[in-house]
Structure 1
Amino acid sequence: MQGFLRTLAVAGLVSASFMGQSVPGGAADKLTVAHSTWIGYGALYIAKEKGYFDEAGVDVELKIIEASSDAIAAMQGGQIEASASSVDNFALFSGNGAKLSVIMSLDESHGGDGIVAKKEIAELSDLKGRTVAVQKGSVSQFILSQALDKAGLQLADVNAIDMKSGDAGAAFVAGRVDAAVTWQPWLSKAAATDFGRILIDTSTMPGVVVDAIAVHPDYLKDHKKEVQAFVKAYYKGIDFLKADPAAGKEIIARNLKMTPDALEATWKDVRFFDRTDNAAFFGTGGDSAAKQLVKNAGEFYTRIGVLKKAPDADTVVNAGAELADE
């Protein structure tokens, strides 16, 4: 039960960090967007470098914060205005008390995230009793939970060690853990070792990992025009990437400090969302893919005891649906 109890403790600490924070919503000179090092967020840099945000009248600052818990806590406290993360992560933090509104979807992981393991771990059920590096309260935990659930296991059945996703991949490649939940390029690095393999990745888990951007509801209320302009400018960045992939990739690789070869090796693992994908994800009402993902994540985390109550899907994603229609 130790791994499970530690997960509950982390969830409780994150929830507590949202209490007593100042509420965003006043005048802001910048719209600061925090994100982790993942190529799915790369089009943000295209929109910024090509001047689309400036043209739209929005002063955007992009800030790398690897841990989603740190980024969302900073957003709750008003230190930043927006956070990029996975939709399931937003559901988890919303259920723990965070006030947030998803404003648009960015991409879907299609093999970019997964679980690496020693070669003697032939299937997911073999993870029982093994040491698994995984970042608690993140999309990595959600992937692990979903995978274990399919194998008839729970988080308590593995010896989970809390590590940021990149650190988890590095720990596995160094031979310090039996398995790790990580992303590219660590999936490929693990598969290239003489002892490791990719046990499962998101290419076989469609719709599980969708990245998006959220802001505090009070910020959205007071800065709706800026948010609308930000969303439209971002999709100009996506249009540029489609029209000139080579130039777009160069901008992404340079800003994320990746070599061109490293970027190419992981490019197939992400599917960027354009305006049409965004509108389809949020739908025009009813049980959209966005709402269903929030519900699935909330119900799952509630069932395993990480959340006491699932978040309200309408509250989390309704802003995204409204903005997608504009």
Structure 2
Amino acid sequence: MNMFKELALAGTIAISMSASLNVAAAAEKLSVAHSTWIGYGALYIAKEKGFFEKAGLDVDLQIIEASSDAIAAMQGGQINIVASTMDNFALFSGNGADLAVLTALDESAGGDGIVAKKDIATVADLKGKSVAVQKGSVSQFLLAQALNTAGLKLEDVTAIDMKSGDAGAAFVAGSVDAAVTWQPWLSKAAATDFGKILADTSTMPGLIVDALAAKSDYANEHRKEMKAFVDAYFEGIDFMAKNPAEAHEIIARNLKMSNETLAGTLKDVRFFSKQDNAAFFSGDRSPGFELMSQAGEFYQKMGVLRSTPDVAKVVGIASELAK
């Protein structure tokens, strides 16, 4: 009798192990690309705390600084999801990329801006100056909006094409008159004896909103996984709200910045809760729809879009996933 019990137990264990292995094997592999920006930090919280794994997802996070490179990799099938800004998704959608926004992540509230030499008193004084800015990026969108408010156009400055982090570094090195960059380079520029923050997104609410997007055919074919991914991400956001010290350590370590640097820049970003995200995509003319439309119209006016993006299509799945 004992022998039969042992055999039965062994069989049960074998079946259990087999089932576990099948579950593990069934985990959907997702590769997610993002730049070095604290607004993407909760992705690492969701990964390290096991929220993605619990949702049946095997998520690989990769740093690719230029959105153009990340989106090209996604179009080529090497990346499944890209983190970037809403205006960038409008730009690339209008130029042929087949994108579907999945969720909004955060809003820049002082984390992006323009740094300049101290003798440049206003944005209008940038006329004729050398400005390091990444073309076809959110930095260029920000610069153009600021120049427009000052009665200038992009053509009125000498733009030097650099990735946003490199632009900040170039300004700190004294190589350019001004730069469009983000934290921590804004603070580093302000700490020099010759530089200052000329303008930042604390005075431009709602201009720069980060989001996640996938190829639309992939997102539609994997709606269950996309929903699981979004929900697990917002578990990471909830964890950060309840356990800030541990969450901030995870972000700082993965983005390779000191806890002090992170603490100094957190005030410049507003992370979206799940409720914020739902509100952002709620209704036919949602804030998300309006922002992408504004960006599409702007880039088309600049002549860098082949066609106006189909905004309703691009943001359609996001409203469904937010529920």
Partner of 1:120: 119
Residue type at the aligned position of 1:255: N
Q: Deviations over 1:283-304 (max 9, x none)?
A: 1x22100000001001111112
- TM-score for the superposition, normalised by structure 1: 0.90
Q: Deviations over 1:23-78 (max 9, x none)?
A: xxxx9952101000000000000000000000000111100000000000111111
Partner of 1:179: 178
2:237 aligned with 1:212:
no
Partner of 1:299: 297
Unaligned runs of 5+ in 2: 1-25
What is the CA-CA distance between 1:309 and the residue it aligns to? 2.4
State whether residues 27 and 58 of structure 2, in contact with CA within 8 Å, keep that contact through their aligned partners in structure 1. Answer: no
Partner of 1:257: 256
Partner of 2:313: 315
Alignment of 1:43-122 (within 5 A): 43-122=42-121
RMSD: 1.1
In structure 2, how many angstroms separate the alpha carbons of the residues matched to 1:221 and 1:188?
Answer: 41
Alignment of 1:217-232 (within 5 A): 217-232=216-231
Alignment of 1:139-158 (within 5 A): 139-158=138-157
Residue type at the aligned position of 1:321: S
Greater than 2 Å deviation, 4+ residue runs: none
In structure 2, how many angstroms separate the alpha carbons of the residues matched to 1:130 and 1:28?
Answer: 52
What is the CA-CA distance between 1:316 and the residue it aligns to? 1.2
Partner of 1:170: 169
Greater shift in the superposed pair: 61-70 or 223-232: 223-232
Q: How many residues align?
A: 298
Give SS of 1:97's match. coil
State whether residues 27 and 56 of structure 2, in contact with CA within 8 Å, keep that contact through their aligned partners in structure 1. Answer: no
In structure 2, how many angstroms separate the alpha carbons of the residues matched to 1:321 and 1:115?
Answer: 33
Unaligned runs of 5+ in 1: 1-26
State whether residues 27 and 57 of structure 2, in contact with CA within 8 Å, keep that contact through their aligned partners in structure 1. Answer: no
Percent of aligned pairs with the same amino acid: 69
Residue type at the aligned position of 2:319: A
Residue 287 (structure 1) aligned to one of 285, 288, 293: 285
State whether residues 105 and 271 of structure 2, in contact with CA within 8 Å, keep that contact through their aligned partners in structure 1. Answer: yes
Residue type at the aligned position of 2:93: S
In structure 2, how many angstroms separate the alpha carbons of the residues matched to 1:123 and 1:310?
Answer: 33
Q: Deviations over 1:69-123 (max 9, x none)?
A: 0000111111110000000110000011100000000000000000000111101
- TM-score for the superposition, normalised by structure 2: 0.91
2:135 aligned with 1:136:
yes
In structure 2, how many angstroms separate the alpha carbons of the residues matched to 1:91 and 1:304?
Answer: 13
Give SS of 2:78's match. coil
Give SS of 2:97's match. coil
Give SS of 2:277's match. helix
